[in-house]
Amino acid sequence: MYTDFGFDKLMYNVLEVNKTNYENCIDTNFLKNITKGGRDVVQLLETRTYYFLCGRGFCYQGMKIAINVKEPILHKSPSTLSNKAFHSTKIINTKFIVFLVIALVMDVCVI
């Protein structure tokens, strides 16, 4: 997962900070300065909350964000469904496709 920040690098910056610094808008002792070119991409590789803020006093005006990265939810694939459930889904999909084809053919014949 990743996030990107777009900003005027001559006016703003993006700093990764800890929770305390985030809550209090403290832009010293930051974890990482994300600011590079004003269109910066940050990889969020760990399952945790990331805290970013803009220094230079802009954090006090609301320029901060906390991003909570969670484990992905894995959905069951059709192969893990019971054979009966998969077969029922297949029949429903087939009926819908047949209905759609008939509707299209009838529409073509009317013209």
Contact 77, 38 (CB under 8 A): no
Q: Are residues 54 and 88 in the same domain?
A: no
Q: Are residues 64 and 12 in the same domain?
A: yes
- Mean pLDDT score across all residues of the chain: 76
| Residue 83 maps to a domain | yes
Nearest to 15 by CA among 45, 70, 57: 57
Q: Are residues 27 and 57 in the same domain?
A: yes
Place of tokens 């930051």: 30
Mean pLDDT check: name the lowest of 63-72, 82-91, 93-102: 93-102
What does the alpha-carbon distance between residue 35 and residue 10 come to, in Å, rounded to a whole number? 10
| Residue 73 maps to a domain | no
Query: Which structural domain, as residue segments, surrounds residue 54?
Result: 2-68
Tens digits of residue pLDDT in 24-70: 999 999 999 999 888 888 889 899 999 999 999 999 999 999 999 99
